[in-house]
Chain A
């Protein structure tokens, strides 16, 4: 019937569609972090620079504002693709449950709109508005960034803990309550976890850029502040994140036992469960893991006799892939702990001595902390997403039943790979240029100064 029959059914679309979604989201989530936290750092630097009349700080804030513009543009275009992919790849999810959990996306549309408007105003208004008005114009950007994170994470939390509706006899949605769906049990822990992650990723990443500069011998005030401000934010939020991690683990244990069992590689349901680090899960058992006695029972129940549900109580066809989830979870916790150590070292030295640790190993550690924070972010995201499998809506709709059966859909994955490679290269290129030449204009700025002396050939296509 079809003029070209590339695939016969949805099964062949499933894996490419999942990979396409993973790639698109995994890329976008990094830029979202900067959209949430970077404006805060920037306006903080601007405020301090203004109050103290510190030109180095003001100049730094201006560079950051431009970098923020570049990152925002990259995040905006990747976010657009996502809004298409939600429907194109997962019509079984959107068509059936859009009325239940689509609502926070509408609110996110507004939040993103406000953010886009004020990013434009903030960048355009540099030196055009009074300092006070200019700093105030950053406020809507900061609020809408955080609000946007809440709305998107609320939608994801609903997929983990679907609430706010019932299914009728034919399995159709009835009595959808979008407000209730937006506040499912996972919404708050997940949102707080994500917001803190955004501050950590942004803080460690920016600090790492200046740490590299300092390692190369650039020890001016600009580098000093460039490292100090973001690292301070990150160091404050990292310990908080560890506490939030405990909160979220408890919610997962209660709401999604299969996910927790996969995170820990736990097969048998028992009490006095150890906490397992590393290892490989096969033959219904975790091998080669380092075990901390009673660790998991303590973590989940704050009691060594607490019973934790293992994989044996989960039907075989409802088990997530244990190794992916377990390793991703361990990577997140491991890197998070290393970042915590770095934060303590920095905080202690600053508290006692009012200076940065002198060792160049400290700078080296900061230099890799940015990549580390991003790795932890991605690992955490893999933990929650893969840990939910095989469900797209936990306990209700399987991912395999949500994917579009449209012929040829899987080809989109290859195109998306190519596009993201190009987009990544371009973003890195522009950011590097911005680092070398501070007068490089941001995408939202209008007065693009002639970049070099070939003035006649400037406004080329």
Chain B
């Protein structure tokens, strides 16, 4: 493995983390959208809020991590991708802003119409953002981004069969992951009935995602032949692993083994992403630019690797601490209300 491949590999770990954690957050927003009327969906929305409230900002940073590693280590390829695909990327960024702001602020707001508006903003942007990101992946994977600045078609690079497949798959995978994760969260909060509801959804989306994924392979055969060759050739074992993990996840769900379902479904999604990488190797931009050609200078790559290693030593324990802290006591209320709360007067 070369230095460039190593750095790209680390970037891809970040991408997988974003796919799993960020993806589950997006999916939770999608379920928020589908939770039904104000009263009926209240408990589900509460659970969703509890599950993602403290972690969404941290989960979100993975994407920034991916961007900064790409622009430093593969500057030219990065510039090519973001200029040709600037429309879906800008829309995704807007979606993230709308989503973050709406989610962050809606609980601080009491008036019902305003809350509805922000909630709708949160939920809708949770749906469209993964679509655009998936469409970007589709554009890159189907070789529609040539090297150079804004050299590709700024419309057809993301409105094409592979991008549509990528977008739809992104939404489905997010919804699926979120449903599986929420099963476990609901059980931990002692809401077995809610767990049951999300279990049904997880099984449903698993079926739809599986069918769409396998059907989608045939879209790729005509629209992105080189990706198809890679997926059915070199990456076939990885795709098989994804299928097997998906089946195991379904079995776990059927048996209400939510922890097992979590691991298996994460593995299934990871394998899809890894499969894409394996299929596209050694190109970073199909079919013109390889990873080696796109990589920047050695000193930069070495500095990056050092920073990534040292950073991981600091980051991983902090991240684990965050998740453990919340997973241990999600509903526990503070030990006491602050005594003088009532005596404090407003500022204005």
> Which A residues are within 8 Å of any B CB, using their own CB?
2-4, 55-56, 58-60, 62-63, 70, 72-74, 76-81, 83-88, 91-92, 94-100, 102-103, 105-110, 112-114, 116-121, 123-128, 140, 173-179, 209-210, 212-213, 216, 218, 220, 222-223, 226, 404-409, 412, 415, 419, 422-423, 426-427, 429-430, 432-448, 451-452, 454, 456-461
Please state if B72 and A98 are interface contacts (CB–CB under 8 Å).
Answer: yes
- Which residues of A have CB within 8 Å of B322? 117, 120-121
Give the residue of B84, B90, B104, B319 whose beta carbon is less than 8 angstroms from that of A443.
B104
**CA of A72 to CA of B56 in the docked complex: distance in angstroms?**
13
Question: Is the beta-carbon distance between B297 and A99 smaller than 8 angstroms?
Answer: yes
Q: Is B69's CB within 8 Å of the partner chain A?
A: yes
Does A423 contact B64, Cβ atoms closer than 8 Å?
Answer: no
A76 lies within 8 A of B154 (CB): no
* Contact between chains at A55 and B87 (CB < 8 Å): no
Given contacts A140-B318, A444-B57, is CB(A461)–CB(B153) below 8 Å?
A: no
Known A175-B297, A429-B109; contact A415-B87, beta-carbon cutoff 8 A: no
A118 to chain B, nearest CB (A): 7
Q: CB-nearest residue of chain A relative to B97?
A: A77
Which B residues are in CB contact (< 8 Å) with A445? Answer: 53-54, 107
B227 / chain A contacts, CB cutoff of 8 Å: none
Is B200 an interface residue when CB atoms closer than 8 A count as contact? no
Chain B 72-111 near chain A by CB (<8 Å), digits 1 or 0: 1101101110111011011011101110110111011110
Chain A residues lying within 8 Å of B43, measured Cβ to Cβ, are: 459
CA separation between A124 and B329, bound complex, in Å? 10
Min CB distance, A34 to chain B, in Å? 15
* Interface membership of chain B positions 31-73, coded 1 if the CB is closer than 8 angstroms to chain A and 0 otherwise: 0110100110111011001100111011011011101110111
13 contacts between A and B (CB under 8 A): A55-B338, A59-B338, A70-B105, A84-B89, A95-B75, A95-B76, A98-B71, A103-B300, A109-B68, A109-B69, A112-B64, A178-B299, A209-B347
Asked if B304 and A103 sit within 8 Å, CB to CB, the answer is yes
Q: How many A-B residue pairs have CB under 8 A?
A: 338
CB distance from B33 to the nearest CB of A (A): 8
Inter-chain contact A423/B97, CB cutoff 8 Å: yes
B281 contacts partner chain A, Cβ-Cβ < 8 Å: no
Q: What 9 A-B pairs come out closest when comparing CB atoms? A: A95-B79, A461-B119, A102-B72, A98-B75, A99-B296, A443-B104, A127-B334, A55-B340, A87-B82
B105 & A87 in contact (Cβ 8 Å cutoff): no
Contact, CB under 8 Å: A218 / B345: yes
**CA A210 – CA B340 in complex, angstroms?**
18
**Taking the complex as formed, is B282 at the interface, i.e. its CB lies under 8 A from any CB of chain A?**
no
Asked whether, in the complex, the Cβ of A118 is within 8 Å of the Cβ of B318, the reply is yes
Q: Classify chain B: how many residues form its interface, as a range.
A: 35 or more
| Bound CA span A107–B310, Å | 10
Q: When the two chains form their complex, are residues B326 and A106 in contact, meaning their CB atoms are under 8 A apart?
A: no
Contact A435 B57 (CB under 8 A): no
Docked pose: A79 CA to B156 CA in angstroms: 29
A430 and B108 in contact, given A73-B57, A105-B72, A176-B299 (Cβ under 8 angstroms) = yes
Q: Could you tell me if A117 and B319 are in contact, using CB atoms closer than 8 angstroms?
A: yes
B65:A109 contact, CB within 8 angstroms: yes
Of A106, A128, A458, the residue contacting B332 (CB under 8 A) is A128
Q: Of the candidates A63, A91, A174, A415, which one forms a contact with B344 in the assembled complex, judged by CB atoms under 8 Å apart? A: A63
Report the separation of the CA atoms of residues A175 and B298 in the bound assembly, to the nearest whole angstrom: 8
A102 nearest in chain B by CB position: B72
Closest residue on chain B to residue A174 by CB atoms: B297
Q: Which of B82, B89, B321 neighbours the largest number of chain A CB atoms within 10 Å of its CB?
A: B82
